[in-house]
Structure formats: C-alpha cells, structure tokens
Amino acid sequence: MKAQVNPFVISGYEGSHYFCDRVQELQTLQREIANGCNVALVATRRMGKSGLIHHYFSQPTIQDQYYTFFIDIYDTQSLRELVQKLSREILMRLKPYGARAMQRFWDTMRSLQPGISFSPLGEPSFNVQIGDIQEGDATLDEIFRYLELADKPCIVAIDEFQQINTFPEKNIEAKLRTYVQQCHNAQFIFSGSQRHTMSAMFMNASRPFYQSVSLMHLDSIDMEVYDAFAKSLFAEGNRTLADGVTNAVYKYSQGVTWYTQKLFNTLYADTREGTVCQVENVQEALEYIIKTQSYSYEEVLFRLPEKQKMVLIALAKNGPSKAVTSSTFVKKYSLQSASSVQSALRGLLEKDFVTLEQGTYVVYDTFMAYWLKCQY
C-alpha cells in the first residue's frame, strides 16, 4: 500500500485502505460471479461503480483465480472503438503474467497482429488505430475466442454499457448477447449510469439481454459509515474531524460518492496538522471548489441553446423535480411552454447535463447546480 499525500482519492483506485464501505455490495458481487452469474451494476454517475469493480478485482482470491479486464466505453461511438479498447486492455493486463500469456492472446488476434509488437525484452506495444480495424465483428469474434481459450477464467467489466445503444452498427445488443451466452470461460459485469436505459436493456422482454444478468444498484454510502471512515483518515494525518462535518458535506454532495470525496479532499488539504476541521469549513471548501470551476461552468452555459439553459437553471433552483411540464413549474420559472421544456429536457439528457431516474429530473453535476442557484 503506497502512502497518499491526500487520502481522499478523487481519481482511480488506490487500494482498500482508501476505499469506503461497500461491504455488502462487494459480497453480492463476489457471490454472483462465483455462482456463474453475469451482473448489471446500475447507479448514478460518480456514485462509485468503477471504484467498486476495481475494489472487487483487487481482492487476492480474484487476482489469483481470474484474469480481470475493465474498460469504460463512455467516449466510444462504434463497435470498432469498443474492440480497440478491449483489445488494448487485455494485452496490457496480461503483461504481468509474462510472454506466454501475451503470446496466447496475440496468436488469437490475427486481425490485429500487424499493430501489436514486442520488444526484445518482451515488452508489448499496442499500435492499433481505429482505421486498422477493418471489421469490428471479426475482431470481436477473435476477442471472444481468446476469452474462451484463456488458461484462466476471465472477468470482463464494461462501464457505461448503455453507450452501445448509440453505435451505428445494427443488432449490436443481439450480437454481444450471443457472444456472452456462448462464452463459458468468462463472466461479465455491465455497469451503467442511465438507469432507465439499463433497465430497458436487461428487464424488457423484447430485448436480447432480458433476464441474462443479476441486477445490482448502488445507493449512497451510509453517512455514519462514511463519517467513521473520514475521521479515521483525518486522524492518520494528525488532524481531527469535528462532529457534524460529514452531515454538512452530505447536504451539499447529495450523498454522491465523488462529490463527497472531493469535498473531503479539499477539507483535508485545508486542515493543518494538529488542528480541527469544523462544520463552518465545509461551506468554505465548497466555495473554493466552485470558484475553481466557475469558468468551465460559464463556458458550458454559454454554449447551451437558450431554452436548455433556462430549464437547466430551473432544475438547479428547484432541486430534484418530477412535474417539470406542469403549468406550475413552467410559470414559476418563467419558461416558454410545456412543449419547449420537454424539448429542452431531451437535449439536456442527451448531453448528460441532466439525469432522469424514476421520473425525477436532477442536474447531473451537483457542484454546478449549486453554482447555478447562487448565480441565478
């Protein structure tokens, strides 16, 4: 375990010591995979899905018994981009296992062999560009053939899995479902942040992935559990966290893990050794974060169409909102009409500025929502 300058990690996974709770969720994930079940993990973005997966992958028994692969396809736009990411991830994750493990993969990936090379010392180099992948289907077939032939069982995690719905290739869900179903040496974790889309993919009887997974949902970490975690890390750094601070942090972070971590990261940095972090420091930390991000927020707002901008501001002021096309909501925030609100919401949802869960609209970026409330 390497020492952290700031123990409140806001990027990546740095080990179990800096990972808060998720004990029950980890046990569920372990049980489902151990019993041969694929898993769909659904939660709001920044709630900690990828952190949980990396935490699971870091367990000694998992490292010993499986090859583990993780890709985030949020920024992919086609099957070719997906297979490029997954191919690179497999090759690089096999590197610690030596030449024999990498050779097995290379032998299988005939379509990519010109872009994969090895140094005299056996160091792999992945130089496959999107344009080098002539047929995404053919490369996907090779990947699944490797997974089936690997000398250890594999676990493949695909984050933001709902993104495949935007790919131009036809029948992509059906293709992937067929490969997954026929692959007996690998299990899959499909994680996603768009609950309604993920639910439709896995719970709609007309969709290929219907009833093919165990469905898991991540909620906020219990505040008392997080409070004990935060106080422990402060104490290790010769700092004290006063009672009530975590409660104040949760008020602003809405219990979303990344925003909670970001506030505590700032609070820890602002608390000198031998001193106490007080409740009033939370507001100061939030204002500092907002100040550092205000230019980005202004740019985002400037680029939005006027109707989307007005609806975004209204949602930030109102908080989690259901009846957004009602005459009451439209009049309260001086919006044009119910139909214009509906149109603006579609655009905001597509751009991920707003999330929709169980009929409730929320501004995705918690800190930006606070900035909007203060500015407007």
Q: What is the CATH number of the domain that holds 334?
A: 1.10.10.10
Whether the model clears a pTM of 0.75, i.e. scores above it, the answer is yes
Do residues 58 and 130 share a domain?
yes
Does residue 147 lie in a domain region?
Answer: yes
- Total domains, the chain: 3
162 in a structural domain: yes
CATH of the domain at 209: 3.40.50.300
Of the residues 187, 217, 247, the one at which a domain ends: 217
On whether residue 17 sits in a domain, the answer given is no
Residues 37 and 179 in one domain: yes
Same domain for 202 and 238, yes or no, is no
Q: What is the pLDDT along the chain (376 residues), one digit of tens a residue?
A: 455 589 999 999 999 999 999 999 999 999 999 999 999 999 988 999 999 999 999 999 999 999 999 999 999 999 989 999 999 999 999 999 988 899 899 899 888 877 787 888 778 888 777 666 767 788 899 999 999 999 999 999 999 999 999 999 999 999 999 999 999 999 999 999 988 889 899 999 999 999 999 999 999 999 999 999 999 999 999 999 999 999 999 999 999 999 999 999 999 999 999 999 999 999 999 999 999 999 999 999 999 999 999 999 999 999 999 999 999 999 999 999 999 999 999 999 988 899 888 889 999 999 999 999 999 9
Q: How many H-runs (helices) and E-runs (strands) does the chain carry?
A: 16, 11
Contacts of 219 by beta carbon, 8 Å cutoff, 6+ apart: 43, 47, 255
Q: 232 and 283 in one domain?
A: yes
Last residue of a domain, one of 166, 193, 217: 217
Using one digit for the tens of pLDDT, what is the confidence trace for 289-319?
999 999 999 999 999 999 999 999 999 999 9
d(CA 21, CA 329): 39
Determine the pLDDT at residue 3.
53
Indicate whether 69 and 136 sit together in one domain.
yes
Q: Does residue 2 lie within any of the structural domains?
A: no
**Confidence at residue 356, expressed as pLDDT on a 0 to 100 scale:** 87
pLDDT of the residue at 294: 95
Cα(172)–Cα(182) distance, rounded to whole angstroms?
Answer: 16
Examine residue 144 and state whether it is found in any structural domain, yes or no: yes
C-alpha angle 61-66-69 in degrees, rounded to nearest 5: 120
Boundary (domain end) residue, out of 183, 217, 251? 217
Domain shared by 207 and 231, yes or no = no
The range of the structural domain enclosing residue 320 comes to 305-375
